[in-house]
Amino acid sequence: MNSKVVVIGQGYVGLPLAISSAQAGFKVIGIDLNEEKVSRLNKHQSIVEDVSDAELKSVSESGKYQATTSYSIDPTTEIICICVPTPLGSNHQPDLEILKAATQDVGKSLKAGMLVIIESTIQPGTTRDVVVPILEKESGLIRDQFLVAYSPERIDPMNKKFTIKNTPKLVAGLTSGAAVKAKEFYSKFIDQVDVCDSLEVAETAKLLENSFRLVNISFINELAMFCQKIGIDVNDVIKAASTKPYGFMPFYPSVGVGGHCIPVDPLYLAQAARAVGAPSRFIELADEINLGMPTYFVGRASEMLGGLRDKKVLVIGVSYKPNVADVRETPVEALINGLKKSGAVVSWHDDLVKSWNGESSVALGSGYDLAILATPHNYLDLSLLESVPVLNTRGSK
């Protein structure tokens, strides 16, 4: 098979997609505006944990994959997948500018019959009302002349059990022909592909999945605050409740959620909900609780030490979740800033992140007034702290 595929955005979503489709036999070009990233990829240096250097080397040397910063898309390309960031802007609200820019660049090279698939997380209606008009305008074609689909990504970086291959994938098309072609594409390297009735169903399903997580994590964090007050460990409560074989799903406490999905995607849903006069109070409250968690732990630390001024505090684990080096939207940043604002002298340890925000990880050791376990990586040996008291953000005792 020599069908040509272009994947726009070579990050956590786009790179694994590009490599999986190359391994399935497609001839893949990965486009990314970040020159350094592209140069590393072409030297077979992976930039995400889920793709190994060896895999990159293998698909590159067999001529199935190449990265580039150029948007000059080969006119014989069959499928273009867009996997660019859809972040929150400075006002903490959805910002589609990157997606619009990438769609404009794709539109300029769009030819009749090509299939464009959006994988970025977006609000219901975005594919139909934002992406398709841009493609029409830039290409001079009308929507019947090309195919458009939406397929949300569910990748969970470093999850060894559920990979791109065995995580079911949703697809929806602007037309049924687009849905059929998108399903045919993904089915070459994904075990189960489910077609949704409309673009809006697939777009909203993705937002539901991550809003469900944010709401429940925030709820468990509230419960953890309650358990702390009455002197029990919330993890014991969760363990006990988890013996119920139906109707319960465990979520665990933390200093808040991070990454580019769970703290972000629900706000896409909340904005869309407000716009049609059906506001999601659950999401808005969950966001507020989530953003308040670092301050809550600054308060707990202050209580433990009788004030934080000039106290030496070691924060352990700064990435947004255990066992990854990813610091995007990490709530630990707000924790560290809050501690510093209260006068503490803060150091941090994270051997996976190593350097961040112009600072470097320090060794785990004694000599601190308090250690705060923020992100519990598996490699950590907390016995090195000796008698330093530990505030565990993953529990309530």
Ligand X SMILES: NC(=O)c1ccc[n+]([C@@H]2O[C@H](COP(=O)([O-])OP(=O)(O)OC[C@H]3O[C@@H](n4cnc5c(N)ncnc54)[C@H](O)[C@@H]3O)[C@@H](O)[C@H]2O)c1
Catalytic center residues: 261
Task: Give the shortest CB-143-to-ligand X separation in angstroms.
Answer: 22
Give 8 or 301: the residue with its C-beta nearer to ligand X.
8
Contact with ligand X (CB under 6 A) among 18, 19, 31, 335: 31
Q: Which residues in the 71-90 window bind ligand X by CB under 6 A?
A: 83-86
Contact with ligand X (CB under 6 A) among 24, 102, 272, 289: 102
CA dist 179 to 153, 175, 185, Å? 16, 7, 10
Q: In this structure, what token pair is assigned to residue 168?
A: 């079911």
Contact with ligand X (CB under 6 A) among 10, 204, 218, 221: 10
> Judged by CB under 6 A, which stretch of 7-15, 220-228, 342-350, 376-384 contacts ligand X?
7-15
Give me the residue whose beta carbon is nearest to ligand X.
11
Contact with ligand X (CB under 6 A) among 34, 66, 198, 323: 34
Q: Which residues in the 153-182 window bind ligand X by CB under 6 A?
A: 153, 155, 157
Residue 128 DSSP label: I
How many residues bind ligand X (CB under 6 A)? The answer is 27
Q: Give the integer Cα–Cα distance in Å for 101 and 106.
A: 9
The letter for the amino acid at 133 is P
Closest C-alpha to 64, from 34, 24, 32, 31: 24
Q: Give the integer Cα–Cα distance in Å for 332 and 79.
A: 39
Contact with ligand X (CB under 6 A) among 4, 25, 33, 68: 33
> C-alpha 167: how far from its chain's center?
16
Tally: H helices and E strands in the chain: 12, 14
Cα–Cα–Cα angle for 270, 163, 317, rounded to 5 degrees: 70
Specify which residues 82 forms β-bridges with. Answer: 8, 118
Give 215 or 315: the residue with its C-beta nearer to ligand X.
215
**Does 11 interact with ligand X (rule: CB under 6 A)?**
yes
Q: In this structure, what token pair is assigned to residue 159?
A: 């999850």
**Does 13 interact with ligand X (rule: CB under 6 A)?**
yes
**Does 374 interact with ligand X (rule: CB under 6 A)?**
no
Task: Give the shortest CB-333-to-ligand X separation in angstroms.
Answer: 17
Task: Give the shortest CB-26-to-ligand X separation in angstroms.
Answer: 19
Residue 79 · residue 117 · CB < 8 Å: yes
Binding track, positions 231-270, relative to ligand X; x by CB under 6 A: -----------------------------xx---------
Strands 27-31 and 4-8, bridge-based pairing: parallel
> Judged by CB under 6 A, which stretch of 28-36, 165-173, 275-283, 351-359 contacts ligand X?
28-36
> C-alpha 312: how far from its chain's center?
32
Contact with ligand X (CB under 6 A) among 5, 8, 255, 371: 8
**Does 120 interact with ligand X (rule: CB under 6 A)?**
yes
CA atoms within 13 A on the CB side of 236: 7
Q: 3-class DSSP state for residue 251? A: coil
**Does 98 interact with ligand X (rule: CB under 6 A)?**
yes
> Judged by CB under 6 A, which stretch of 30-38, 222-230, 351-359, 366-374 contacts ligand X?
30-38
CA dist 279 to 242, 267, 285, 290, Å? 31, 11, 11, 18
Binding site for ligand X (CB under 6 A): 8-14, 31-34, 37, 83-86, 98, 101-102, 119-121, 153, 155, 157, 260-261
